[in-house]
Amino acid sequence: MYTAQQCREKWFAKYYENKEAIDKRIAEGIEKNRKGHCQIRLTDDNGNGLAGKKIKVNQIYHDFKYGANIFMLDELEDNELNERYKDEFKKTFNLATVPFYWKDLEVEQGKPRYSKHSPKVWRRPAPDLCMNFCEANGIIPKLHCLVYESFTPDWLVDKPLDEVKALYEKRMKEISERYGDRFFEVEVINEVLLEKNWAKGTKSALSEQWDVVNWSFEAARKYFPDDVLVINEGNPLYSLAAEDYRAPYFMEIENALLKGAEIDKIALQHHIFTGASATTDEDYEKVVLAGSPQVDPAVLFKGLDIISKFNLPLEISEITVPTFGDTEEFENLQADILKLLYSVFFSHENVDTLVYWNVPDGYAWAPAGRNWDENKCRGGLLHHDMTPKKAFLAMQEMFSKTWRTTLELTTDEDGYVEFDGFYGTYELETEGDKTIVGIHKGCDNAIVL
C-alpha cells in the first residue's frame, strides 16, 4: 500500500524541481495583482492633519471572489447536518455556484422547479432556495449554466432545431425575468469540447450545430444584457500549456470572438478526479502514485498565460483536490496541494474568481450505468459528517488571515498613514469612530477622514 509520503513526493516533484522560482513568482504576483496602495489622512474641522492618531485597519470583504457549488443546500439526511453545512458555507465563501441544469430544473416540460417549495431533485436545490440563502448571508450567486447539453431534458431530445432554439430562449427569458440582475455572472455554455459527455440520445439538435457557441451567447445577451457572460470548459489548462495557441479551447474562443460572440469572461475547470474510474485497488494505486501535471505550477502558469492573450478575466470555475487516504497525513497532503494550487491561481494577474466544487465528502456526482464515481476521489473539504478537513481549514486561513489586511497604524505629523492592502472593503476605526471604505483595483484609494 502506498504511503502519504510516497504520494507527496510524486505529486510535488515538479514543484520541488523549481521551488525557488515558483515561490518568487507567486509572492510577486500576489503583491502586484491582489494589493493596492492606500493613503489615509485624518483631519480636523479646518482640514488640518491630525498627528499621532491611531487607526485600526480591518478588511471585512474581498473583491476577489472565492466560493463553491451549493448543490447540497438542505439536501442532507437530517437537519443537524444541513445546519452544519450552511454554517460552514456562509462563514467561509463569498460566492456560490447555483445549479440551473435544465434536465433537473424542468423535469416535466412547462413545470420548472424555481420555487423553494418545488419537488426535490438530488443535488439540485431549487434556485429560489439558493438565491435567498446567498443574499441573506452576503454571498454572491452565479448561474451554472444556460446551455449544457449533457443535461438536456428528456422531452427536448427529439424536437427539431427551430423548436429547440425557441425553448432555449423561453428558458433564458424566464430566468432573466425571475432573477433580474441578481447574479454575479451567467455561465452561458459548458463543456462544448467534452463531446463524450454530449452522448447520443441525451443531447438536443442544438449541440450538433457549427455555431452552437455563438448562437448561445447571442441568445443569452438578448435576455441578460448587463450580465457578465461566461464560457466554461473542462480542465483545459494542461492542453493550453502543451499546445499553446493551437489548443482546442483557445481556438474555440478565438473563433467565437472573431464571429462576434460577446464573451465577457473565460472559465476553466480544474478537477483532479484521481481514482474516479478505478475498479480495483491496483488501478487506484497506479493513478495515485502517477502524480499529475495538474499540480505542476509551470504547467498552470503557462496555461493561464496562454489563455490570457484574450485579455479577459479568468475564473477557475470547478476545483477538486483528492484525498488519497484516510489518515491525517493524507489530509495534510490534500491541504498542501490545495494551498499550492490556490496560491498559483490567486497570484495570476487575470484570475479573479476561484470556485471549489464539492464541499462535503460522499455527496459528489456518481452517474448510474457509468464506471465513474467522483466520491472515490474524496475531494470534499468537509468530512461526510460536515466536520472540516485540513484543506478546508487551510482555505479559511488563506482568505481570512494570510490574504487579508489587518493593521494598526499611527498618523505622521501631517495626519497621513499609508499601506498596501488586499483589494476589498475595509472598516477603519479611530478613537471609537468607524468608517467603511474600499480599496479597489484601478481606483485612487486616497481617503480623507
CATH number for the domain spanning 290: value is 3.20.20.80
* pLDDT band for position 199 (cuts 50, 70, 90): low
Q: What is the DSSP string of 43-92?
A: B-TTS-B-TT-EEEEEEEEESSEEEEE-TTTT-SSSHHHHHHHHHHHHHH
Same domain, 202 and 337: yes
Q: In this structure, what CATH number is given to the domain that contains residue 414?
A: 2.60.40.1120
Same domain assignment for residues 159 and 262: yes
Domain boundary among 342, 367, 391: 391
Cα gap 114→129, rounded to integer Å: 8
Position 370 pLDDT exceeds 90: no
pLDDT digits (tens, 9 = 90+) for 44-101: 999 999 999 999 999 999 999 999 999 999 999 999 999 999 999 999 999 999 999 9
Same domain for 214 and 249: yes
264 and 156 co-located in one domain: yes
pLDDT above 60: residue 200 = no
How many structural domains compose the chain?
Answer: 2
**pLDDT (0 to 100) of residue 194:** 83
Cβ proximity of 288 and 275 under 8 Å: yes
For residue 237, what are the β-bridge partners? none
User: Within this chain, do residues 25 and 43 fall inside the same structural domain, yes or no?
Assistant: no
> Do 97 and 164 fall into the same domain?
yes
Q: Count CA atoms within 13 Å of residue 433 on its CB side.
A: 7
- pLDDT for 368 equals 84
- Regarding pTM above 0.85, the answer is yes
Q: Determine the structural domain holding residue 415 and report its residue range.
A: 35-57+406-448
Q: What's the confidence (pLDDT) of residue 329?
A: 98
Has residue 197 got a pLDDT over 70?
no
Average pLDDT for the chain: 96
Is the same domain home to 306 and 204?
yes
**238 and 179 in a common domain:** yes
Residue 230 shares a structural domain with residue 306: yes
Whether 27 and 42 share a structural domain: no
Contacts (Cβ under 8 Å, ≥6 apart) of 67:
93, 94, 95, 96, 97, 139, 140, 142, 353, 354, 355, 356
Question: Among 391, 414, 436, where does a domain finish?
Answer: 391
Going by C-beta distance under 8 Å and a sequence separation of 6 or more, which residues neighbour residue 304? 237, 240, 314, 345, 348, 350, 351
What integer is the mean pLDDT of 364-392? 95
pLDDT (0 to 100) of residue 202: 78
**Same domain flag for 182 and 273:** yes
Mark whether 266 and 291 lie in a shared domain: yes
